[in-house]
Amino acid sequence: MTSRASALHDIEAYADQGGFVEELSRLVSFPTESQEESRRDDLFRYLNEAAIVMLTDIGFTCRILENPAAPQLPFLYAERIENPEFETILIYGHGDVIRAQADQWREGLEPFKVVVEGDKIYGRGTADNKGQHLINIAALRAVVKTRGALGFNAKIILEMAEECGSPGLNELCSAHKELLSSDVLIASDGPRLHPDKPTLFMGSRGAVNFDLRVDYREGAHHSGNWGGLLKDPAIVLAHALASIVDRRGQIKVPEWRPTSLTPEIRKALEDCPVGGFEGPSIDTDWGEESLTPSERVFGWNSFAVLAQKSGVPEAPVNAISGWATAHCQLRYVVGTDPEDILPALRRHFDREGFNDVQIVPMELGKFHATRLDPADPWVVRVAASVQETTGKKPVLLPNLAGSIPNESFSETLGLPTVWLPHSYPGCSQHAPNEHLLLSSCREALRMMTGLFWDIGDTRAALSGSST
């Protein structure tokens, strides 16, 4: 009998009988480190030898699109157009991974080989993002197998440069608006709020990376002969950093304090508690004091010093360095003017007397903040399907705490964007020992199969459907 239940039964068998782990093992075996120039051939191999093979088998036509900003970092475009009258869903994922950090994985694990231990599937890219887009492709396949068609049109864009900051993605979307024209983006990246809580988010925090540098003189000078006579750049930089946030991390730059944490957003975040899973304990005395932990991470901005250096920390000498530098980042929500972030910091430093501190913008790692109204019809529709399949009311986050290139879809293509993450916060994404949870993957496979079934259900009866 052709039915939703049959499709769910098939995807459960795929999860329980090892099909998912087997396919994921093949995807992980491609060392697609986009930040390493020596791996550029592997990026094309992943698309040609893995992704295109899977998608062609379920009726997609595929082609490689050249990256307009970085030709060695390709895109894959795939489509299955069943009927011009059907709705069209755009699906996104990325096949590149962060640097492997092979020497830091614990004994018994290696980045490009899947290892299953209990409920954990280890391997670089399992969580970010190969496992996530494999779940969505497998769900599409399950619907086609059971129904004989999707009942909607599907377009897929896989990029191979997300870990480099998605260079060229926005230009590609701008140049191919008609090709990518759709009714909605449904995609998967990032973590669920909690491993057993199906989660939807409708945007993401933006990110701006920049260096702060104090550069006084060439070379270092003896700290005995010159101590008290020469400005210490490390100390000046430390005070400049301390002027950005106070001792508990509360932002002191006025323009960096967002205006978008409305009563409606705060109400939505009441049902989104953070923590309580495998991972570090939350420091409740850090961040904006008047906000809850959920409001701090999903509804507010946060500043971080990602790296800091002066002199030679590995072999310090008794000398005052001539320079100091810090690599910094602001994660920001809608309600912060992205064009004024660094100019506002410059004005702040000048007011505080830190004219010596240089602000050096970084081109990579720049993402805009986006957010879709949780009451949007597509959010309501997706949430209802998820609840029907899982028996759980999904968590609705206004935006992801991290950053993704969602503005390419929400702003450039003008689409409503609904993200359904399949990972969890303790997955060691971007770190050694990256992993997914088998239990969450099984639920995600069922959830996405049910969702794709439901999207096509009202359209399946239309005449003219074809594969």
Per the CB < 8 A criterion, the answer to whether 331 and 206 are in contact is yes
Can you say how many angstroms the Cα of residue 374 is from the centroid of all Cα atoms in its chain? Answer: 19
Per the CB < 8 A criterion, the answer to whether 20 and 445 are in contact is yes
Give the ranges where 48-166 is alpha helix by DSSP (H). 52-56, 130-147
Where are the strands (E) in 232-375, listed by range?
302-309, 319-320, 323-332, 358-361, 370-371
Q: Nearest-CA neighbor of 429 among 200, 33, 97, 94?
A: 97
How would DSSP label each residue in 279-315?
SPPP-TTSS-TTS-HHHHHHSS-EEEEEEEE-S-TTS
Residue 8 tokens read as: 């769910």
pLDDT tens-digit series, residues 18-71: 999 999 999 999 999 999 999 999 999 999 999 999 999 999 999 999 999 999
Residue 334 tokens read as: 């809608």
162: Cβ–Cβ under 8 A, 6 or more apart, which residues? 34, 94, 96, 129, 404, 405
Using CA atoms, how far apart are residues 33 and 147, in angstroms rounded to an integer? 37
Residue range 202-218: mean pLDDT, rounded: 95
How would DSSP label each residue in 371-415?
E--TTSHHHHHHHHHHHHHHSSPPEEESSBSS---THIIIIIS--
Residue range 196-220: mean pLDDT, rounded: 95
Q: Which run of H or E residues covers position 351?
A: helix 341-352
What pLDDT, on a 0 to 100 scale, did the predictor assign at position 387? 98
Q: Nearest-CA neighbor of 156 among 369, 409, 403, 376?
A: 409
Secondary structure (3-state) at 61: strand
355 phi, psi to nearest 5 deg:
-65, -20
Biggest alpha carbon distance in the chain? Answer: 88
Mean pLDDT over each residue of the chain, to the nearest integer: 94
pLDDT tens-digit series, residues 407-432: 999 999 999 999 999 999 899 999 99
pLDDT tens-digit series, residues 98-154: 999 999 999 999 999 999 999 999 999 999 999 999 999 999 999 999 999 999 999
